[in-house]
Amino acid sequence: MPDSSRSQRLRKLVQEIAGKPAPEDDQESLFESGLLDSFALPDLVSAIEKEFAVKVPDSDLNPRKFDSIARMDAYLSDHL
Amino acid sequence: MIPAYLHGFGAYLPERVVANAELAERLGRTSEWIESVSGIQERRWAAPEATVSDMGVAAAEDCLRKAGVPANTLGMLIVASGSGARGFPGPAAEVAARLGLDSTPALDLPMASAGSLFGLALAMRLAETQGDVLVVGAEKMSAVIEAAPQDPNTAILFGDGAGAALVSARPGRWRMLDAVLHSDGKYREDLAFQGTGPLRMNGLTVILQAARKIPSSITEVLGRQNVSAQQVAVFLLHQANLNLLTRVAKSLGVSPEKVFSNVQRYGNTSSASMLIAASEWSETTSVRGPIVFSAFGAGFHWGALLADSAA
């Protein structure tokens, strides 16, 4: 289930990588909105692994899982 | 197993230079945007009548001349290309015939981007029984780009060219130590070209997987041979995109300068790029030490190969 503290940490990570504020709406696509480009995605996954001490296996490297703060939160909810 | 050696490299690049400005106008983008997302400033495109085999023969002859090996002594030819003009026979038969070979086995690897790496790894294992093995990577990606209207994100990347490497069981400049190869066909639709229509590329998936799998395969082959990334003299990688090369260096914890790049001048020449890079690097350096080759491409196929300066 959504975790507001985790969402805030994810929002901070997105902001650091994008160099711009994260969207207010957690459901908004970070890539379709143009906030992040394709080369930011590997950096985002690495940052999530470090921040949450979790290993994202290659089989989970599906861009849809990391497309929005809500989806990242849901992924972490299932794997932490 | 008798060790195999790399004796040298060769390359061919078409004369026509296609600068970003030319593509930017056609694609409704700017030169600066193309360079920022890819690192590419220009690429080479072959003449309309030039074929993959034409370029493959030119690179093969360049490699054989530099290695001082006559074509008629080759024990095997391997040609990697994802952009051959027809289904069969692939370009290996024509390249072999034009090199004057009439009974030497000539093997096609119809693989984009990772084909020359797989060719080198096969040659390393086959040199013991086949003798001198010439590996060629040749691509006419401009034909793919011109085949149909393309997504600008894809059309900006590709160039034409060919590279070659001579592998032998005879002692040579670099001893080939080990190779790891991997494939995962569940991603086969994420980067594909059907022969007609646009090239299909799910950029997010390609980059996410490549950024993980290239460093992991390099780490795997280095670990098997107890060599650290910091000990490696140069990383000769498939020249997909400068941003990807930079990320690979970061993942490995090495300076970006250790990752050779010429993607700025030639774009992504798919299966030719790694051998073109090796050819340029080998002509401009006398550096000794471990060399790592690595590539990732449609399939997905990926892997890495480790060689070291021979004693």
CA B80, B200, B54, B280 torsion-angle sign: negative
Q: Which two tokens stand for residue B186?
A: 């569940």
CB contact under 8 A, B209 and A61: yes
Chain A neighbors of B37, CB-CB under 8 A:
37, 39
A29-38, B41-50, B66-75, B85-94 — which is least confidently predicted?
Answer: A29-38
Asked if ipTM goes beyond 0.90, one says: no
- Alpha carbons B95 and B82: distance in angstroms, whole number: 15
Res. B26 pLDDT band, cuts 50 70 90: confident
- Domain covering B4-168, topology: Peroxisomal Thiolase; Chain A, domain 1 (3.40.47)
Question: Considering chain B, what is the average pLDDT of its residues?
Answer: 96
Mutate to test the interface with B, among A33, A39, A46, A48 (most CBs of B within 10 A): A39
**Interval B132-161: pLDDT, tens:** 999 999 999 999 988 887 788 889 999 999
CB contact under 8 A, A58 and B37: no
A3 to chain B, closest Cα gap in Å: 26
Res. A3 pLDDT band, cuts 50 70 90: low
| Chain A CB within 8 Å of residue B247 CB | yes
- Alpha carbons B239 and B229: distance in angstroms, whole number: 19
CB contact under 8 A, B204 and A63: yes
A63 to chain B, closest Cα gap in Å: 6
- B4-168 and B174-309 share one fold: yes
Confidence (pLDDT) at B67: 96
A33 to chain B, closest Cα gap in Å: 14
- Alpha carbons B303 and B221: distance in angstroms, whole number: 9
Question: Is the pLDDT assigned to residue A2 strictly greater than 80?
Answer: no
> Considering only CA atoms, which of B103, B101, B107, B105 is closest in space to residue B119?
B107
| Chain A CB within 8 Å of residue B211 CB | yes
Chain B neighbors of A39, CB-CB under 8 A:
37, 207, 243-244, 247
Architecture of domain B174-309: 3-Layer(aba) Sandwich (3.40)
CB contact under 8 A, B207 and A39: yes
| Chain B CB within 8 Å of residue A38 CB | yes
**Interval B61-82: pLDDT, tens:** 999 999 999 999 999 999 999 9
Q: Which two tokens stand for residue B10?
A: 């060769």
Three-state DSSP state, B261: coil
**Interval B261-309: pLDDT, tens:** 999 999 999 999 999 999 999 999 888 999 999 999 999 999 999 999 9
Where exactly are the structural domains of chain B? 4-168, 174-309
Domains and their CATH numbers in chain A: 4-79 (1.10.1200.10)
Residue indicated by tokens 């790894």: B121
Residue of A31, A37, A61 with shortest CB distance to B37: A37
Q: Which two tokens stand for residue B149?
A: 């209207």
Confidence (pLDDT) at B149: 76
